[in-house]
A and B are shown apart, each in its own frame.
Chain A
Amino acid sequence: GAVVSQHPSRVICKSGTSVKIECRSLDFQATTMFWYRQFPKKSLMLMATSNEGSKATYEQGVEKDKFLINHASLTLSTLTVTSAHPEDSSFYICSAPTPFRGDGYTFGSGTRLTVV
């Protein structure tokens, strides 16, 4: 139980275009979704926290106009990378608090974005 489905798993786009990444909680309601950017092998950087029905909270240094986050419903949160640049190429992953598991979190499978 408690699955977060993240799509697409891989995407290649041209510089200047926008890419939307979706995270859906399949069998539970996620009022909160965390969006991370993963750096090679190790660190996860929290980019923003999306909350259903309200504006997302962005971490310091993250451009909110570039990384648009929408939490449209209790089961869907989206991250749109606007006007993508090659330096935006990375692995993006979402996670939501897992219900009935204390402080556990369920992670999506991640999206590998390559901007060419």
Chain B
Amino acid sequence: DQQVKQNSPSLSVQEGRISILNCDYTNSMFDYFLWYKKYPAEGPTFLISISSIKDKNEDGRFTVFLNKSAKHLSLHIVPSQPGDSAVYFCAADSGGGADGLTFGKGTHLIIQP
């Protein structure tokens, strides 16, 4: 059973607008959530994270929101830029990092000029 779900395989957004990528999880033991960005032929790179004790974390154009009751998190990118076109992975962690990360399958964000 998939514990971290990214239900949208792809998302197309116009340059300058807001991109919203969504992620749902089922395991209530997850206490730390991360977003990764991946370009073709490269490994995923860390983007932003959030602890379960918070409901929002902001870093420049990137903001992650966590709704624990809904077991839902989202990544907002404002304003969207062409270089943001990539695959974005949501990942969740439990057990203080000892057990590694559980990844979603990714959402391909396409920023259109």
Q: What chain A residues lie within 8 Å of B43 (beta carbons)?
A: 34, 36, 44-46
CA distance A2 to B9 in the complex (A): 13
Contact status B101-A104, CB under 8 Å: no
Known: A42-B34, A95-B103, A112-B100. A105 touches B45 (CB 8 A): no
Closest residue of B by beta carbon distance from A105 = B106
Residues of B within 8 A of A (CB): 6, 9-10, 32, 34, 36, 38, 40, 42-46, 49, 87, 89, 93, 97-103, 105-108
A36, A45, A102, A103: residue with the most chain B Cβ atoms closer than 10 Å: A103
**List of A residues within 8 angstroms of B10 by Cβ:** 102-103
Which single residue of chain A is at the shortest CB-CB distance from B3? A109
Is the CB–CB distance between B97 and A103 below 8 Å?
no
Residues in A neighbouring B38, C-beta threshold 8 A? 105
What's the minimum C-beta distance from A5 to chain B, rounded to whole angstroms?
13
Cβ–Cβ contact B99 & A2, under 8 A: no
Residues of B within 8 A of A9 (CB): 99
Q: Chain B contacts of A34 at CB under 8 A?
A: 43
Residues of A within 8 A of B107 (CB): 104
Point out the residues of chain B lying under 8 angstroms from A41, CB to CB.
32, 34, 49, 93, 97
Identify B45's interface contact among A43, A101, A102, A104, CB under 8 A.
A43
Collect the chain A residues with CB atoms within 8 Å of residue B100's CB: 38, 91, 93, 109-110, 112
Identify 7 new A-B residue pairs, CB closer than 8 A, beyond the known A95-B103, A103-B108, A105-B105.
Answer: A2-B105, A42-B46, A43-B46, A46-B42, A101-B105, A103-B106, A104-B87
A101 and B97 contact, CB distance less than 8 A = no
B105 touching A44 by the CB < 8 A rule? no
- A98 sits at the interface (CB 8 A): yes
